[in-house]
Chains A and B, each alone.
Chain A
């Protein structure tokens, strides 16, 4: 029997008449308006977050994630296009075609601004509630781990986005679990976005063009996860000149090269990064045979003025190989966690019509090899995806844009493939099962409409999944509306409904790279969220200071946890140990940002709650999620001491991780009656919070020029005052036999120094 689940019929029917109604509205709209795209002149890459305004700043907008913009009711013949790191362009609108494409030229002198755009449309009539975007020029000023600019680290300074304390790989958005975030690198999913247990992100910032996070009010063409979709866009390569950069830091080195290939309509961008922690330890006579690497390649071919073909390849891996250090030690252990993602994209524009075809291939695997005495053991888990997607956009006029498309994903899972030799065979079973396959699809349509002070973005995504003995079909409603109160104030509200058809099942104590992904099944239903969010934004007349407040409420259903007592390692029947429950998360996110001047930066604060309810856990009572953080704040500042010399620092603080406390013990004879066991008594699930996590990171950057190159030297420190970033609980026995509990951190003060050369 195949369970077929179609819910929300009411919504579905209503949309049938709502969509044509707005299309009629779209046709009726008119007025003085302008739309188009803004691209980098060299690379032809779309520029995200370009500020477009009239000289008096009373009207304006910003470009979206594809570089497009739309502005209407223009009261001026002149528009200013300004973007961090690029020369500001002033254009006369009377001489432009509509729509038109504008090319911005990168500034070669030192950067003057460092701004993170979080809903920062200046005097905007375009609302982007819940979307955060950040580009490398902005990232490079934010102190990162070991002196490296880090895309994901930068995002965690935004309200509502949190990473677990060091030693954990989780990435939590608005009270959601780590598996509820979809990381896409040029449209291809990346299942493990971290290196070194989350200390570094898997994305080499040198090769990244832009990072956007959708965390609420997602348009219909974005989906697949409950909490967020994080789009990492790689640089497309310079079509005019060969250039690049190389940097050496304390823990890793990286290179990036881009330029034309064979002809000017074909370009490449390639980056590579490798850590050398292993070499450093070898130097001091110790052994820590761990390293990570990642590589990126992107080829971009301008087949015609209207057609662009791009190919992206990403690989990344973490390798650890421990060998017997001394004669007679009989343990040998190694582990590899690897990612790869490829995507081929064809984008074609014909007048007001945009067509994009994408094919991607993604793989994620981890392997553990061990030798214990005369036994050998090998464990491998793999996941791979094939995805095809077709997207169509129709720019009806400056006030109306339609976008529709479909996508299909084939997942293949091969968890817990074990090979065992020796006596271990009697204890552990070899498992070379056939693996699991599942299929996921989505069809979507989205309409963006704007009229004077009002904006409306709405759409429907019809997603589903099928596999052995199950079929799910779920409509997802998306709507977002905004109202510009005056030149300084705007409000918006959004509702989104998302379903998720695969789950990363993590233990209750930590998110590990060895956690397994599983598809939905007849018994494990898709996770679901409904989210309501509001945004209020204030921006000063000059656009240099902004304030944003975003309250939200999320209802979640069919969330996945393990049953009590589940053995996570080497469990080949884990589906039987999964249970489903519901959750809710709510809070308010505040952000105050100074965008210009010699001292720039922002303060963000989130007050939030995240709760869960599972019949089989915590006696069926509601409990706080492991990712529940009541308070989370950060202050990020950049001080331009003099041209070329910048000092930046970040201070962040939040409540500690939640754990389940052991509130007592009792003695019982074991079931075999041949020993007395000490049975722990647990308190309410996740009722104990570890100490607050806070740290200060600093970075001093000095940029200078020589005859042929630009140099940038930086020194800094992560966790300046060596604060323990508690991520786990350990039990310690005192000399008198009593017990105490300690909170352990992994990384303390880490100095950084790097030297980068651009050529």
Chain B
């Protein structure tokens, strides 16, 4: 029998696994990328950057932090926001970052963003200013039997606009990040500890106009802060975030279909949204 195994052994040893072949991946021209946030009280922030080749890796992410190549940021752009009876210039306050403290917008009105640059061309986008919806209730409880905190909150339906919501949890630390070369244990740990850092809700989730959620969050050090916010968002932005969430899902990364994030920037990438979050700061017990 050993003779047979020896034949098998030498046969297998002689087998080769061919070297992988290089592939020239065609690359699309660079485009402008817009990311925006309206914070209420007239404050609006906007980041302008440019897309990059899939053959580059200008963003380095590891458990210690995120490092972005600042050459991606696009400065010296002329950015205007116009709407009913107003036209506002949004100033650059740091290379690639723009903002205004006098962006007072009317709920339900449509505003248009126009971006003009010297080298990267122009982009534009329109969005409706969504009415701010606040948490109806929010509270937290330390769970004594585990290293977790339970967050309870309730959202109240706003009948005056579409009911699409994003709830963000701003967690300290980066416990969800995977190292560059994860071991099976790292993946397992993430699988078990994975928790959404934002949740999306639509009308179908509401019962009699209310939605109550209990969510367990990994407890950090005593006294750490947790920021939680809710925003009423447009259907388009809801779809954009839904796609983003799918793309980040571990099972999807293992075996899922490609996800194309459909933004609303004409001639560029990203999303221009005018939703106003209700932000609460909780100190973890």
With both beta carbons as reference points, the residue of chain A lying nearest to B187 in the complex is identified as A372
- Among A566-590, those with CB < 8 Å from B are 566-570
1/0 contact string of A720-758 vs chain B (CB within 8 Å) = 001111100110010001111111111111111100000
B192 adjacent to A751 (CB under 8 Å): no
A588 to chain B, nearest CB (A): 29
With both beta carbons as reference points, the residue of chain A lying nearest to B56 in the complex is identified as A738
Specify which of B16, B166, B252, B269 is in contact with A666 (CB 8 Å cutoff): B269
Q: What number of A-B contacts does a CB cutoff of 8 Å give?
A: 248
Residues of chain A within 8 A of B170, CB atoms compared: 672-674
1/0 contact string of A262-293 vs chain B (CB within 8 Å) = 00000000000000110111011000000000
With both beta carbons as reference points, the residue of chain B lying nearest to A147 in the complex is identified as B11
A250 to chain B, nearest CB (A): 4
With both beta carbons as reference points, the residue of chain B lying nearest to A725 in the complex is identified as B18
Residues of chain B within 8 A of A747, CB atoms compared: 15, 17
The verdict on A6 contacting chain B, using a C-beta distance below 8 Å, is: no
With both beta carbons as reference points, the residue of chain A lying nearest to B59 in the complex is identified as A678
With both beta carbons as reference points, the residue of chain A lying nearest to B181 in the complex is identified as A733
Residues of chain A within 8 A of B53, CB atoms compared: 664-665
Known: A284-B9, A666-B49, A683-B26. A724 touches B21 (CB 8 A): yes
Known: A280-B8, A375-B192, A741-B22. A750 touches B15 (CB 8 A): yes
Specify which of B26, B174, B270 is in contact with A675 (CB 8 Å cutoff): B174
B56 adjacent to A739 (CB under 8 Å): yes
- Among A635-678, those with CB < 8 Å from B are 660-678
- Among B177-227, those with CB < 8 Å from A are 177, 184-185, 188-189, 191-192, 194, 197-198, 200, 216
A666 adjacent to B52 (CB under 8 Å): yes
The verdict on B64 contacting chain A, using a C-beta distance below 8 Å, is: no
Which of A235-243, A361-369, A557-565 contacts its partner?
A: A557-565
A667 adjacent to B257 (CB under 8 Å): no
The verdict on A93 contacting chain B, using a C-beta distance below 8 Å, is: no
The verdict on A423 contacting chain B, using a C-beta distance below 8 Å, is: yes
A251 adjacent to B249 (CB under 8 Å): no
Known: A666-B49, A737-B57, A745-B18. A679 touches B261 (CB 8 A): yes
1/0 contact string of B2-21 vs chain A (CB within 8 Å) = 00111111011111111111
B194 to chain A, nearest CB (A): 6
B19 adjacent to A724 (CB under 8 Å): yes
A665 adjacent to B257 (CB under 8 Å): no
Expressed in whole angstroms, the Cα–Cα distance for A724 and B49 within the complex equals: 39
Residues of chain B within 8 A of A662, CB atoms compared: 25, 54
Expressed in whole angstroms, the Cα–Cα distance for A10 and B141 within the complex equals: 70
A671 adjacent to B241 (CB under 8 Å): yes
The verdict on A330 contacting chain B, using a C-beta distance below 8 Å, is: yes
Expressed in whole angstroms, the Cα–Cα distance for A725 and B18 within the complex equals: 8
With both beta carbons as reference points, the residue of chain A lying nearest to B15 in the complex is identified as A750
The verdict on A424 contacting chain B, using a C-beta distance below 8 Å, is: yes
The verdict on A91 contacting chain B, using a C-beta distance below 8 Å, is: no
The verdict on A427 contacting chain B, using a C-beta distance below 8 Å, is: yes
A667 adjacent to B25 (CB under 8 Å): no
Expressed in whole angstroms, the Cα–Cα distance for A427 and B196 within the complex equals: 11
1/0 contact string of B231-264 vs chain A (CB within 8 Å) = 0000000000111111111011011111111000
B6 to chain A, nearest CB (A): 8
Expressed in whole angstroms, the Cα–Cα distance for A427 and B258 within the complex equals: 23
B197 adjacent to A427 (CB under 8 Å): no
How many residues of B are counted as interface, with CB atoms below 8 angstroms from the partner's CB atoms? 85
A741 adjacent to B23 (CB under 8 Å): yes
1/0 contact string of A49-70 vs chain B (CB within 8 Å) = 0000000000000000000000
Which one of B18, B194, B247 has the highest number of Cβ atoms from chain A below 10 Å of its Cβ?
A: B18
Expressed in whole angstroms, the Cα–Cα distance for A746 and B170 within the complex equals: 43
Residues of chain A within 8 A of B23, CB atoms compared: 690-691, 729, 741-743
With both beta carbons as reference points, the residue of chain A lying nearest to B4 in the complex is identified as A248
The verdict on B27 contacting chain A, using a C-beta distance below 8 Å, is: yes
A385 to chain B, nearest CB (A): 26
1/0 contact string of A508-533 vs chain B (CB within 8 Å) = 11001000000000000000000000
Residues of chain B within 8 A of A690, CB atoms compared: 23
B28 adjacent to A663 (CB under 8 Å): yes
Specify which of A280, A427, A566, A688 is in contact with B25 (CB 8 Å cutoff): A688
Residues of chain A within 8 A of B243, CB atoms compared: 564-565
Q: How large is the interface on A (under 10, 10 to 19, 20 to 34, 35 or more residues)?
A: 35 or more
Expressed in whole angstroms, the Cα–Cα distance for A508 and B217 within the complex equals: 35
1/0 contact string of B40-61 vs chain A (CB within 8 Å) = 0000000101111111111111
Residues of chain B within 8 A of A683, CB atoms compared: 26, 28
B269 adjacent to A743 (CB under 8 Å): no
The verdict on A680 contacting chain B, using a C-beta distance below 8 Å, is: yes
Expressed in whole angstroms, the Cα–Cα distance for A58 and B262 within the complex equals: 67
A566 adjacent to B7 (CB under 8 Å): no
Expressed in whole angstroms, the Cα–Cα distance for A679 and B258 within the complex equals: 11
Expressed in whole angstroms, the Cα–Cα distance for A183 and B53 within the complex equals: 45
The verdict on B161 contacting chain A, using a C-beta distance below 8 Å, is: no
Residues of chain B within 8 A of A723, CB atoms compared: 18
The verdict on B86 contacting chain A, using a C-beta distance below 8 Å, is: no
A675 adjacent to B66 (CB under 8 Å): yes
The verdict on A18 contacting chain B, using a C-beta distance below 8 Å, is: no
Residues of chain A within 8 A of B27, CB atoms compared: 663-664
Residues of chain A within 8 A of B245, CB atoms compared: 671
A665 adjacent to B51 (CB under 8 Å): yes
B244 adjacent to A681 (CB under 8 Å): no
Expressed in whole angstroms, the Cα–Cα distance for A566 and B216 within the complex equals: 26
Residues of chain A within 8 A of B166, CB atoms compared: 671
B26 adjacent to A688 (CB under 8 Å): yes
Residues of chain B within 8 A of A744, CB atoms compared: 20
Specify which of B192, B194, B198, B258 is in contact with A671 (CB 8 Å cutoff): B198
Known: A283-B8, A424-B192, A664-B27. A740 touches B257 (CB 8 A): no
A746 to chain B, nearest CB (A): 8
The verdict on B151 contacting chain A, using a C-beta distance below 8 Å, is: no
The verdict on B120 contacting chain A, using a C-beta distance below 8 Å, is: no
Residues of chain A within 8 A of B255, CB atoms compared: 507, 509, 512, 568-569
A322 to chain B, nearest CB (A): 11
The verdict on A331 contacting chain B, using a C-beta distance below 8 Å, is: yes
A231 to chain B, nearest CB (A): 33
The verdict on B168 contacting chain A, using a C-beta distance below 8 Å, is: yes
Expressed in whole angstroms, the Cα–Cα distance for A166 and B171 within the complex equals: 44
A724 adjacent to B9 (CB under 8 Å): no
The verdict on A485 contacting chain B, using a C-beta distance below 8 Å, is: no
Known: A330-B185, A330-B188. A663 touches B54 (CB 8 A): yes
Expressed in whole angstroms, the Cα–Cα distance for A661 and B4 within the complex equals: 46
The verdict on A682 contacting chain B, using a C-beta distance below 8 Å, is: yes
Q: Beyond the given A565-B243, A568-B251, could you list 8 further A-B residue pairs with CB under 8 A, ordered by the A residue number?
A: A250-B12, A562-B257, A564-B260, A567-B246, A671-B198, A671-B241, A676-B66, A752-B11
User: 21 A-B Cβ contacts within 8 A?
Assistant: A251-B11, A280-B11, A283-B6, A373-B189, A375-B188, A507-B255, A564-B258, A567-B256, A569-B254, A666-B50, A668-B33, A668-B35, A675-B174, A681-B28, A724-B18, A724-B20, A725-B18, A742-B21, A747-B15, A748-B15, A751-B15
8 closest A-B pairs by beta carbon, nearest first, are: A672-B197, A250-B11, A565-B246, A748-B18, A742-B20, A724-B18, A663-B28, A666-B51
Q: Which residues of B are at the interface with A, using a C-beta cutoff of 8 A?
A: 4-9, 11-23, 25-28, 30-31, 33, 35, 37, 47, 49-61, 66, 68, 72, 166, 168-171, 174, 177, 184-185, 188-189, 191-192, 194, 197-198, 200, 216, 241-249, 251-252, 254-261, 269-271
Q: Which residues of A are at the interface with B, using a C-beta cutoff of 8 A?
A: 248, 250-251, 276-277, 279-281, 283-284, 329-331, 372-373, 375, 423-424, 426-427, 507-509, 512, 562-570, 660-683, 688, 690-691, 719, 722-726, 729-730, 733, 737-753
